Structure 1
């Protein structure tokens, strides 16, 4: 559930070249805060797909060796990130497996984002990256998904209602994504060094 400062009607924008720039900055801040806890920091969600319309909210996945809640919540709280308390922000079923996760909101007044901590190699980690890579690769799917999101935002601007309608549609999209993965031999992208924040001047 969004915090009070995040409540606003859903607005879907055309793709913004600023989104990957904002991701790089946020990823650097997160890496500096988490240190060795962060194996890899991925840009995920619709803002990670060039050409795709999206809400102006950057989704970030931090791959970790294990969910260590007290430590990870403390490290991110030190830079103002707020752990979302709802059960669906602490776990999810992916690939028939119950997976732990932690989701964080940005500091009050900061750039809108969601930070998802997931265990390296778990199905929910794979799911987020397959969603991204499929939509990057398939122009028709990308165009149709963007058009669906624009229509949904126009007719259902309430954030929570919008999300409840979009969730089953996403599952349908992911059936096509799995077929694409099987046909192309797609594999989970390997971990890469997490970006560093630029020096403070």
Structure 2
């Protein structure tokens, strides 16, 4: 759920090249705060896919050896990031396995973002990278996914409703992504495995 300062209707915009610049700036800030705890920092989600329409919210995946909620929350809180308290922002099921995670909102007034801390080698890490790489590689899927999200945002303006409708559609998209991965031999980039 968004914090009070994040309350805005869902809007899906055409791809913005500035999203990559915003990611790079945020990645540098996160690396500085987390130091050697951040094993990899990746731009994930729709803003990481050139040509894909997306909500203007940069998703970043930070890989750590292990989730240490107290320590990592304190490090990010020191630079204004806020740990999202909802259960779905603490764990997720991916590949049939429950995976721990932490999701952080940006400092009040800062650029909209979601910072996902995940453990190295987890199936949820693979999921995020496969989503991104599949949509980068398949133009038809990218255009269809963007059109779906734009139509959905016009019909459902609240974030919770938008997410609830998008979740089963994402599962269908990921079935196609898994076929693509099997056909192409796709694997996560080196350094993303346990």
- For the superposition of Structure 1 and Structure 2, which TM-score range results when normalised by the shorter chain? over 0.9
Give a deviation string over 1:71-113, Cα, whole Å, max 9, x none. Answer: 1000000000000011110001000001000000000000000
* 2:24 corresponds to: 24
Written as runs of structure 1 = structure 2, the 5 A alignment for 1:127-146 is 127-146=127-146
Any stretches of 5+ residues in structure 1 without a counterpart?
193-201
The residue number in structure 1 matching 2:187 is: 187
Shift of 1:190: 1.7
- Structure scoring higher RCO (CA < 8 A, sep ≥ 6) equals 1
* Alignment match, 1:198: none
Q: TM-score, normalised by structure 2?
A: 0.98
**Partners of 2:191 and 2:5 in 1: how far apart?**
33
Aligned CA RMSD, in angstroms, stands at 0.7
**How far off its partner does 1:191 sit?**
2.7
Counterpart CA distance in 2 for 1:185 and 1:165 is 30
What CA distance in whole angstroms lies between the structure 2 residues aligned with 1:49 and 1:27?
17
Q: Partner of 1:109: helix, strand, or coil?
A: coil
Shift of 1:176: 0.2
Q: Which residue of 2 aligns with 1:107?
A: 107
Once residues 141 and 191 of structure 1 are traced to their aligned partners in structure 2, the CA distance between those partners, rounded to angstroms, is 27
Question: Which segments of 5 or more consecutive residues in structure 2 lack a partner in the other structure?
Answer: none
Taking the aligned partners of 2:122 and 2:128, their CA distance within structure 1 comes to 11
In the other structure, the counterpart of 2:60 is 60
1:199 counterpart residue number: none
* TM-superposed deviation, 1:159: 1.1
Matched, 1:148 2:148: yes
Q: Name 1:82's counterpart in structure 2.
A: 82
Q: SS where residue 190 of structure 1 aligns?
A: coil
Structure 1 residue 61: Cα displacement: 0.1
The aligned length equals 192
Distance 2:134 2:68 in 1: 30
Offset of 1:118 from its aligned partner? 0.2
- Residue 51 (structure 1) aligned with residue 51 (structure 2): yes
Give the TM-score of the pair, scaled to structure 1. Answer: 0.94
Runs of 4+ in 1 over 2 A off after TM superposition: none
